[in-house]
Amino acid sequence: MTTIGDVAREAGVSRSTVSSVLTGRKFVAPGTRARVELAVEKLNFTVNSGARALATSRTMVIGVVVQLHGMEFSPALAPFVFALSDAARAASYDVLLMTESDAVGAIRRVAQTRRVDGLVLLNIVDDDPRLAALAAHDIPAVLLGMPRDSRGVDAVDLDFAHAARRLVEHLHERGHRDVLFARWSSAMFDAGHSFVWRFSDAAFACAQELGMRLRTFEVPVAPELIPAALAQALRDRGDATAVLVHDDAAAALMPSALHESGLRVPDDISVVSLFSAELARSFALPYTSVESDPGRVAAGSIDVLLRRIAAGKSAVSTVHTLLTPRMVDRGSVRDLTQRRSAPVR
Amino acid sequence: MTTIGDVAREAGVSRSTVSSVLTGRKFVAPGTRARVELAVEKLNFTVNSGARALATSRTMVIGVVVQLHGMEFSPALAPFVFALSDAARAASYDVLLMTESDAVGAIRRVAQTRRVDGLVLLNIVDDDPRLAALAAHDIPAVLLGMPRDSRGVDAVDLDFAHAARRLVEHLHERGHRDVLFARWSSAMFDAGHSFVWRFSDAAFACAQELGMRLRTFEVPVAPELIPAALAQALRDRGDATAVLVHDDAAAALMPSALHESGLRVPDDISVVSLFSAELARSFALPYTSVESDPGRVAAGSIDVLLRRIAAGKSAVSTVHTLLTPRMVDRGSVRDLTQRRSAPVR
DNA sequence: CTGAAAGCGCTTACAG
DNA sequence: CTGAAAGCGCTTACAG
């Protein structure tokens, strides 16, 4: 293994000088610098990250804590993990993937052994035990998600309330007044996944403001039950002219449900939802939707986390960021305004 | 930060003795050991992993290198990453997730900076440039996949040939003689994803042996084109009584395609495929299939990698492991033997 | 069975 | 502008 000492010898300088050009934190005479760089090149030298970590107390590694309870829809979760990896790498950090069911133990472990400089927590729920673990070990962290009470931890998430409003308004603009709301199982509400009620509350509030009717259909937790149950709900939709879907699995299985119920989009029924472009691609979902944007949410999380790491103990106030989502119109909403206005004239 | 020195002072012993009980590599008198353990407990001490790594030249971290070219079907890939994380943790290793598009650069980086003890490479293709990078840096590695030439690197994969035979034989046993083979796009063959031709070759060979007809339908790469194209292929199936699907996206979108073509399973057509239990769950796929078993393949990979790390430079021979898959009968294959034999009598 | 010493490969005040 | 020295927190021969 070639070390900083070998480089120093090759360049005819001291190890400190080599270190100075490596870290770039000190001015080094151009000539000296050049000699060092040449030696580095020649010996194909790279700093030993463990040694550097020991000397600097910085690992340049971020831990990503994801918990798979089984209620999550993993095809929708994975893109966030990959996006976090990309965002971290763009900032010269590596990502340690932590999937242990005992997340609290995992946090303790990496915090105490100083394996990472900070943590990103995924699929956070209200009263998440991981939040207490964070506080106990006082390690920089950011939540990708927005619990009711973040316990002083920074958090970044999509603005689900805004997303709901965008979709309901979109339906309203096109003349829809009676909408089926296919939403996450109440088990998800009970488990404290706050994004479900943030979306739900806003959807109902917006519908009420606009004088629209929203009928709830609770999507089953088990994916294998979804197509049939959803098809049934669509058949029993009464005068509803559109369906608002907030449940990744239901969105993904919507094509099956539609076929099963024999309905065509947007002629027989309009559809709007919320999912990522990647899910749309993987599942061939041709529905107008708000983009859940794993890339942007992940980048935002890493950004906040790095600031927190840099700020250190200087307790700046907690940062909560809600990213305003954008909508992708895929033409799955029929315009009813002409038909509606006709009888009035 | 509490160090080994604090523990030594608390226990009234030397740092070496503390280290001895921590590593467990040396016998320590029961009484002394107890005092040390008590001190560790009291101070809530944990070894600094960076310092230990520097002293031992072992990081206890494994790098997982996954490349997302866009042709992969990520809902089918992610379970392998999570399973690797679980398997590594079970062996006291952490996982560094490496998703950079420049995988060769990534391998160089972690190998030279000694960030990891070994690597698992996913979605390997024939003549994968990552194999050369492995050799250049002489870092222990295992391929989760089985390229034509593994270049002396250990490899673990599902036995796709066996899987194909199982499925074809299953169809044959139930009287199917004319089968539609919906397989990965030839772009996947061209890209060198060896599992596609390993499955394909075996399927054709087995079909020929058994006197069955296998008609190829090449699944489009773009998921959004799959339902319609597949539905069309099903309509044009002629006398084919079953469809053998080897393409994760096609399997996932099969329900849509079936609905679109108006066919029911197994009454109108039989279906067999190859995917993971998790994909089956997420997509509600009620088809008899060979299990791709991310958990078992991942555990096997980690096992082989750890052996390789332990063996070090003592060049034991290259290990190639093909895991025999198991089949899950979900009743999607109709038994034609009674109907077939009737006219013969 | 235990401890003093050297070393892992780096960085960082501190002199000069 | 450069270098000698100390230190990051551990482990591991080596004495005793």
Do B255 and B138 have their domain in common?
no
Highest mean pLDDT among A29-38, B269-278, B332-341: B269-278
Residue A259 lies in a domain: yes
Do B181 and B127 have their domain in common?
no
Q: What is the pLDDT of residue B315?
A: 66
Residues of A in contact with B281 (CB under 8 A): 223-224
Contacts of A15 (CB under 8 A, 6+ apart): A4, A5, A8
Do A201 and A278 have their domain in common?
yes
Calculate mean pLDDT across residues B95-121. Answer: 95
The answer to whether the CB atoms of B59 and A78 lie below 8 A apart is: no
Do B88 and B188 have their domain in common?
no
Chain C, protein-covered positions (CB within 7 A): 1-5, 7-13
Residue B343 has pLDDT above 70, yes or no: no
Do A280 and A317 have their domain in common?
no
Contacts of A55 (CB under 8 A, 6+ apart): none
If one counts the domains in chain B, the total is: 3
CATH code of the domain covering residue A253: 3.40.50.2300
pLDDT in tens, B29-47: 888 889 999 999 999 899 9
pLDDT in tens, A152-211: 999 999 999 999 999 999 999 999 999 999 999 999 999 999 999 999 999 999 999 999
Q: Say yes or no: B115 contacts chain A, CB-CB below 8 A.
A: yes
Q: CA–CA separation, B107 vs B197, rounded Å?
A: 27
pLDDT in tens, B109-158: 999 999 999 999 999 999 999 999 998 998 999 999 999 999 999 999 99
Q: What is the pTM of this model?
A: 0.93
**A34-42: long-range pairs with CB below 8 Å, 24+:** A35/A11, A36/A7, A36/A11, A38/A11, A39/A7, A39/A8, A39/A10, A39/A11, A40/A7, A42/A10
pLDDT in tens, A241-292: 999 999 999 999 998 899 888 899 999 999 999 999 988 988 889 999 999 9
* Pairing, β B288-291 against β B327-328: antiparallel
Residue B339 has pLDDT above 90, yes or no: no
Residue A215 has pLDDT above 90, yes or no: yes
CATH code of the domain covering residue B8: 1.10.260.40
Do A201 and A339 have their domain in common?
yes
Q: H/E element holding B272?
A: strand B270-275
Q: CA–CA separation, B217 vs B219, rounded Å?
A: 6
Do A211 and A338 have their domain in common?
yes
Calculate mean pLDDT across residues B13-18. Answer: 90
The answer to whether the CB atoms of A284 and B226 lie below 8 A apart is: yes
Do B171 and B274 have their domain in common?
yes
Q: CA–CA separation, B248 vs B259, rounded Å?
A: 18
Do B273 and B181 have their domain in common?
yes
Length of chain B: 345
Q: What is the pLDDT of residue B75?
A: 83
Between A1-10, A41-50, B63-72, the lowest mean confidence (pLDDT) is in: B63-72
Residue A52 lies in a domain: no
Q: What is the pLDDT of residue B102?
A: 92
CA of B126 to C1' of D2 (A): 51
Calculate mean pLDDT across residues B207-233. Answer: 94
Residue A56 lies in a domain: no
Q: What is the pLDDT of residue A314?
A: 59
The pair of three-digit structure tokens given for residue B80, joined into one six-digit string? 């392998």
Residue A53 lies in a domain: no
Calculate mean pLDDT across residues B52-74. Answer: 89
Residue B54 lies in a domain: no
Chain D, protein-covered positions (CB within 7 A): 1-5, 7-13
Instruction: Count interface pairs A-B at CB distance under 8 A.
Output: 148
Q: What is the pLDDT of residue A74?
A: 82
Calculate mean pLDDT across residues B95-115. Answer: 94
Binning pLDDT at 50, 70 and 90, where does residue B342 land? very low
Do A155 and A275 have their domain in common?
no
Three-state SS at A157: strand
Q: Taking a contact as any Cβ pair under 8 Å apart, which residues of chain A between 126 and 185 contact chain B?
A: none
Residue A31 has pLDDT above 80, yes or no: yes
Residue B55 lies in a domain: no
Domain that holds residue B215: 160-291+328-344
Do B192 and B262 have their domain in common?
yes
Residues of A in contact with B96 (CB under 8 A): 61, 94-97
Do B80 and B111 have their domain in common?
yes
